[in-house]
Amino acid sequence: MNIKNILVPVDFSEYSNKALEYALLWGETFGATLTILHVNTVLHERYEKDKLKEEYREIVEEEERELHLLLSEHFNELANHPVEIEYDVISGRSAANSILEYLHAHPFDLVVMGTHGRTGLKHVLLGSVAEKVSRLSPVPVITTHRELHHLEVKNILVPVDFSDYSKQVTRTSVEIARLFEAHLHLLHVFEHPNASQFMWMPENVRSFFDLSSDLQQRLLKALQKYQDPSYDRWTLRVIEEGHAYREIIKYAEENRIDLIIMATRGFNKFEYFWMWGSTTERVVRLAPCPVMSIRSREALEQVA
């Protein structure tokens, strides 16, 4: 994984400040340049572009200059940081869409940004800039929360569902683990079946594991195929039935995981509404540590 240019969208909140701290760790590790980006969306709520035309453009340019100065002053303490840092300000009606357009127009390798971790109805109505960018970004996205307790990557969790997506993510995870000298945890959660799947089974059977005594071993054996034999820091775990996102979060909490790396399919807006609460999106919102979302190759080809 070659990371030379990292984009860090900021909104001057504590969430984005924590994301910047984390991005600096990655910048130092990979020898990458950071671009701190602020999207000015307030102005678009005050002015109608079609009505003001030339005057509007002048207002936009002036406000962007002021914000650019504010941005560099706000992060003035980074002036002597060993990581090369650049600043940019753009304007747009939607922060998420503006960030995505910026990504497609510039050669970035990674995005690091904060998320507020909204849940429930508030999340359905308001959505999340970080989650939309994670779903649709052409490059991997790391999301962080305000509660970022330490800046290190020593334990990396990679959930595996035995799909081609998981193979892609595991290969990338090994490259990252080598640079951080981290321990890799491969986790498979056997999803909790619904009641209809047991209608044809005897009453005393409440688990597929009751029907196959060696199912646990067969799943572990399948998980071993995802290991890279050239890397020797692995832990493999199969959880016998549960809700994937809950078990991933629980495992991360109990095993001091510093980073979770997952694939995301990149649903369109209609698919996402009906699939709201998919495993990756829920983990992004609720994880106790940063989460790297990597779009599958198939998803990238769909929008290429």
The CATH number of whichever domain residue 39 belongs to comes to 3.40.50.620
Query: Which structure tokens are listed for 136?
Result: 């649709």
User: Is residue 97 located within the same domain as residue 186?
Assistant: no
- R_g of the chain computed on alpha carbons: 21
pLDDT at residue 301 in the model: 40
Distance from C-alpha of 20 to C-alpha of 7, rounded to nearest angstrom: 10
pLDDT at residue 148 in the model: 73
Mean pLDDT of 69-98: 83
User: Is residue 115 located within the same domain as residue 174?
Assistant: no
Contacts of 143 (CB under 8 A, 6+ apart): 19, 113, 114, 115, 130, 131, 134, 284, 290, 291, 293
Mean pLDDT of 81-105: 91
Residue 242, judged by CB atoms within 10 A of its CB (0-12, 13-18, 19+), counts as middle
pLDDT at residue 297 in the model: 58
Check residues 235 and 62 and name the one with the higher pLDDT: 235
User: Is residue 101 located within the same domain as residue 183?
Assistant: no
User: Is residue 145 located within the same domain as residue 2?
Assistant: yes
Distance from C-alpha of 185 to C-alpha of 9, rounded to nearest angstrom: 29
The SS3 of residue 253 is helix
User: Is residue 63 located within the same domain as residue 157?
Assistant: no
Q: What is the percent of the chain with per-residue pLDDT over 90, rounded to a whole number?
A: 44
Question: Domain count of the chain?
Answer: 2
User: Is residue 202 located within the same domain as residue 183?
Assistant: yes
pLDDT tens, 218-253? 889 999 999 999 999 999 998 877 888 999 999 999
Q: Range with the lowest mean pLDDT among 55-59, 188-192, 243-247, 282-286?
A: 55-59
Domain end among 150, 184, 218: 150
User: Is residue 138 located within the same domain as residue 163?
Assistant: no
pLDDT at residue 125 in the model: 38
Q: Residue 23 belongs to what domain range?
A: 1-150
Distance from C-alpha of 141 to C-alpha of 262, rounded to nearest angstrom: 10
| Whether pLDDT at 155 is above 90 | yes
Of 98, 91, 107, 77, the C-alpha closest to 42 is 91
Check residues 302 and 283 and name the one with the higher pLDDT: 283
Distance from C-alpha of 248 to C-alpha of 260, rounded to nearest angstrom: 9
Fill in the amino acid letter for 144. T
- Per the CB < 8 A criterion, the answer to whether 259 and 271 are in contact is no
- Per the CB < 8 A criterion, the answer to whether 139 and 109 are in contact is yes
Domain end among 150, 183, 203: 150
User: Is residue 257 located within the same domain as residue 163?
Assistant: yes
User: Is residue 91 located within the same domain as residue 187?
Assistant: no
Instruction: Tell me the pTM.
Output: 0.82
User: Is residue 290 located within the same domain as residue 185?
Assistant: yes
User: Is residue 110 located within the same domain as residue 161?
Assistant: no
pLDDT at residue 266 in the model: 45
pLDDT tens, 12-48? 888 888 999 999 999 999 999 999 999 988 655 555 5
Q: Which residue has the tokens 């429930």?
A: 120
pLDDT tens, 172-219? 999 999 999 999 999 999 875 554 444 455 555 555 555 556 778 888
